Structure 1
Amino acid sequence: MPIMWSRLHAELGLSPTPLTHAMVVRAVEAGMAEADDLDWKQALPPEVEKKRLEFAKDIAAMANTRGGLIVHGVREENERAVGLTGVPNGERDRQALRSFANRYVRPLVDGLQIEALDGEAGEPGLVAVFVPPSPDTPHVIGEKNEMGVPYRYGTDTNWMSESQLERAYRDRFTRRGDDRAALDALIDGLIPEIDLKQGVWVAVVARPVAPLPLLSGRPEREGVTSTMLNALELVSEVFGKSQGRVPVLNELLSDGPIINPRNGLRRWVIRSNHYSTDPHELVDCALVELHHDGSVALAMGCSSSCVVPASPTGSPMFGRCL
């Protein structure tokens, strides 16, 4: 998956879109300044132990703060980009960087992306390293008895004190508890909407582990429709219509629920009985909620009217994922 959002996007006034060589060129021409979530590097770390640790330190520091972007191949002066130097960005070069991070950073930074950015013929290549905001902070670097916990403070990298480390671990455990509570709330929000007397229901909820970029406003209706149509197409590709799994979600295509989703409280709602005039009527087959914070809640009925026979117990089945 390409790098879709970063400080560079925000400074250039761009919406989420794959990061490109041309964007970096624009940032350099504008003299974009470094920040706690943007770092310019002139070269790749050489095959020297100390420099490898320095690279790992940069990764851990951003992960321990709020994530960020490191671009190798950009020269800076006074913390502002002033020119492209270029770096080797082949598969072997990028794999070496990933190996450094995997060796020295604990726990591993999930979702770390290392991409090659190539411009037109003759332009120097770049390597972009995207460090996501991590739910597993604090991340420690080093080996054996030489270990530390770095973090970003503006454009500087500092080391956590004992009290800061204590707070970081406390925040991690609190965050995990909040994540579980948020998933429970999504499930609880589905239950009043579905008719459990119809048989077995399968419900799945998910939410981002990192907050979405600060965009202008909530998702628009057209974007919600496009997202759902793409999701149904993906279901068809993965499972195949012949296996009977697609018709459940295809209930949402009939009579246009996907084309005209309902605008709920901080969410868009797509339901199989979209045109019901009874406000107390329960969903009879399929329900999807796309929340403005990126969370998704899905409930599918498994009664004979949908796809598969119902369980004699008629009990709901629920799943949660982060």
Structure 2
Amino acid sequence: MARSWTRLHEYLGHPPGPVTYEMVSEAVQRKLGESDDLDWKEMVLEEAKVKGEWNEFSKDVAAMANTRGGLLVYGVSDAVELVGVDLDKIDEKKLAQWLRVYLQPVVTGVSYLKLPATDGSGKDVFVVDVPASETAPHFLYGWQQKDKDKTTFNAPFRHRDDTAYMPEHQIAAAYQARFARQDAAEAALDKHVRHTTDLISGELDHPAAWLVVVARPARPLPRTVPAPTREGVKYVIASSVKRADGALDRAVPLRRLLGPQLFSDLLDNNPGRGLRRWVETNMLVPARVTSRRGILVELHHDGSVVTAVDLSHKAPNDGMPGSSTLPVSCPALINTVFESVALAHEHRLALRADSPLDLRAVLTVLPGANWSLRLAPTVIELGRLAIAEWGRQPRKVQPAEGELAPFIDDEALASAAAELTDGLLHQFGMNIRGD
């Protein structure tokens, strides 16, 4: 999945969407010049003859990633004329391998678009779409004869229509910007968790184990992205249920023991308006409150997604006076994480966002901290929930964190959800495989 808004879209006045051959051809006819986010390339360079020698392809990708992302368009000359490339000779796996070998840290999220000619000219085009990197600066390593065969490394970047190399002060600024982004992301995730736990705590009159999952785009959405509509949000929720269903089948042995999915089973899919968000819940609106497991879903206009589920509801000993343990349903925990990750991905697709998603899952006792209770994991035994006596019973569970890459398939989504789930389950002495 490539980015949906690029220099070509802006120049040609096209709405967000995939880059097409027609767009490249029109930009060439109109003599669109190179810029910091567009680089015309006549051909894809072959691998260096000497192992470890300077790799131009990796340099160009790093330069885009270190700036603000952009397109490398192969098959267009420096004079901005369409010359074409042989798509059959381009090995995308080899290109990806070069990025892993020559760059530190590796640039992720790069997509490759083979665009056969549609005008009968036979001049095919190959586009490499590089997103702006959250882990910049990226350094290029290799050998250069001009440096007397010594190993060298530097951080390339785009300056207008040229590629240059960062001096020391610019590298220092790039690191500062990376750390500032990380701090801002941490603060934003914490804010979502605090807001949600405060909101839920005000509705509770007994201790309960709640799982809050937050997903937030690492980069802001373009200003041109319209706010989601109610019908759009309903479609996102319905689509996420199907995607989560497939991810669970891929990742969880004996998936049938987890029971029905929570979002489809406990929600009416009738979201209401919130403050720059859509909210779907079965607990905050008096007319919709039920005795079933509490659940809250928020889809924010900025691409963030917040879900919260009561994992202790209907578990054995729930709410019993004098109990020193608070049962936590592990099947519900697994369902919640997978459905939350699928929902975040579907929301991102609907907004045509190309950013990675920062993920955080927090399991906590509400209302407030109750240190006298131990969280007891429950599993399915003989068709019913029962406390896993062999599992750990921690008083506090550390948050689990992860990332959802912008260009993923269903297998990668299932893997990301499983990793986030195991981050919680490991603290109970178990994992998603049940061993």
Report the TM-score range of the alignment, normalised by the length of the smaller protein.
Answer: 0.7 to 0.9
Say whether residues 1:215 and 2:224 are aligned partners.
yes
The change in CA–CA distance for 1:179 and 1:90 in structure 2 (over 3 A counts) is farther
Match of 1:266 among 258, 272, 276: 276
Q: Which residue of 2 aligns with 1:127?
A: 126
1:41 shift after superposition: 0.9
CA RMSD of aligned residues (A): 3.1
Q: Which residue of 2 aligns with 1:42?
A: 42
Note the 1:1-322 alignment, pairs <5 A. 1-48=1-48, 53-77=55-79, 81=80, 83-90=81-88, 93-120=91-118, 123-143=122-142, 145-194=151-200, 195=203, 197=206, 199-239=208-248, 242-251=256-265, 253-254=267-268, 258-259=269-270, 261-273=271-283, 275-276=285-286, 285-305=294-314, 312-313=325-326, 315-316=364-365, 319-322=400-403
The change in CA–CA distance for 1:320 and 1:264 in structure 2 (over 3 A counts) is farther
Q: Are the aligned partners of 2:267 and 2:280 in contact in 1 as well (CA < 8 Å)?
A: no
**Distance in 2, Cα, partners of 1:188 & 1:228:** 24
- Residue 21 of structure 2 aligns to which amino acid in structure 1? H
TM-score, normalised to structure 2, is 0.63
Q: Are the aligned partners of 1:52 and 1:100 in contact in 2 as well (CA < 8 Å)?
A: no
**Distance in 2, Cα, partners of 1:181 & 1:247:** 31
Q: Are the aligned partners of 1:207 and 1:321 in contact in 2 as well (CA < 8 Å)?
A: no
Q: CA-to-partner distance for each residue in 1:184-213, whole Å, 9 max, x for gaps? A: 111112112325537322211111223323
Of 215-224 and 108-117, the range deviating more from structure 2: 215-224
The change in CA–CA distance for 1:216 and 1:238 in structure 2 (over 3 A counts) is closer
**Distance in 2, Cα, partners of 1:126 & 1:92:** 11
The change in CA–CA distance for 1:237 and 1:192 in structure 2 (over 3 A counts) is same
1:231 shift after superposition: 0.7
1:64 shift after superposition: 0.8
The change in CA–CA distance for 1:319 and 1:99 in structure 2 (over 3 A counts) is closer
**Distance in 2, Cα, partners of 1:49 & 1:170:** 37
The change in CA–CA distance for 1:204 and 1:319 in structure 2 (over 3 A counts) is farther
SS of residue matched to 1:288 = strand
Q: CA-to-partner distance for each residue in 1:261-315, whole Å, 9 max, x for gaps? A: 222223222222465369xx9x96221112222121111222445xx65874374
Q: CA-to-partner distance for each residue in 1:192-242, whole Å, 9 max, x for gaps? A: 232553732221111122332332442233322222221112122333684
Q: Are the aligned partners of 1:35 and 1:155 in contact in 2 as well (CA < 8 Å)?
A: yes
SS of residue matched to 2:163 = strand
- Residue 83 of structure 2 aligns to which amino acid in structure 1? T
Percent identical pairs in the alignment equals 36
Q: CA-to-partner distance for each residue in 1:75-120, whole Å, 9 max, x for gaps? A: 342xxx4x32221224852223223222221110021212322244
The change in CA–CA distance for 1:290 and 1:275 in structure 2 (over 3 A counts) is same
- Residue 248 of structure 1 aligns to which amino acid in structure 2? L
**Distance in 2, Cα, partners of 1:31 & 1:43:** 18
TM-score, normalised to structure 1, is 0.83
The number of residues matched between the two structures is 310
1:54 shift after superposition: 2.4
Q: Which consecutive residues of structure 1, in runs of 5 or more, have no partner in the other structure?
A: none
SS of residue matched to 2:77 = strand
Q: Are the aligned partners of 1:134 and 1:210 in contact in 2 as well (CA < 8 Å)?
A: no
